[in-house]
Amino acid sequence: MRAATSKRQQQVDANYEYFKSILPGILHIRRNKFLLLQNCEARGYYDTLSDALEAARVFCPKGDYSIQEVTDKVVDLGHFSHVDPLI
């Protein structure tokens, strides 16, 4: 279980580093959208967190995704900032 958790955390960390690297280029056109990330790739931008979660269920059925709000403010989405540990 610990190895799986470690791998999940590595994926979350990698997705977040990717997000930070693209944020300056997307902030002005995608501000306040929710970005679905999987394997350090943008899977889509959504108007609401609910929409991003629904897309994650469809496109990332293994639960290996992250969701970040496109903003210049620090936002902690809690559980939704992390790869789903239940899958």
Sign of the dihedral defined by the CA atoms of residues 42, 44, 49, 55, in that order = negative
Under 8 Å CB-to-CB from 64, ≥6 apart: which residues? 8, 11, 38, 39, 83, 84, 87
Q: Which two tokens stand for residue 5?
A: 């958790």
pTM of full prediction above 0.75? yes
pLDDT in tens, 21-70: 999 999 999 999 999 999 999 999 999 999 999 999 999 988 889 999 99
Which pLDDT belongs to residue 48? 97
Q: Where are the domains of the chain?
A: 2-81
Q: Is the pLDDT of residue 87 over 50?
A: no
Q: Nearest-CA neighbor of 66 among 20, 15, 31?
A: 15
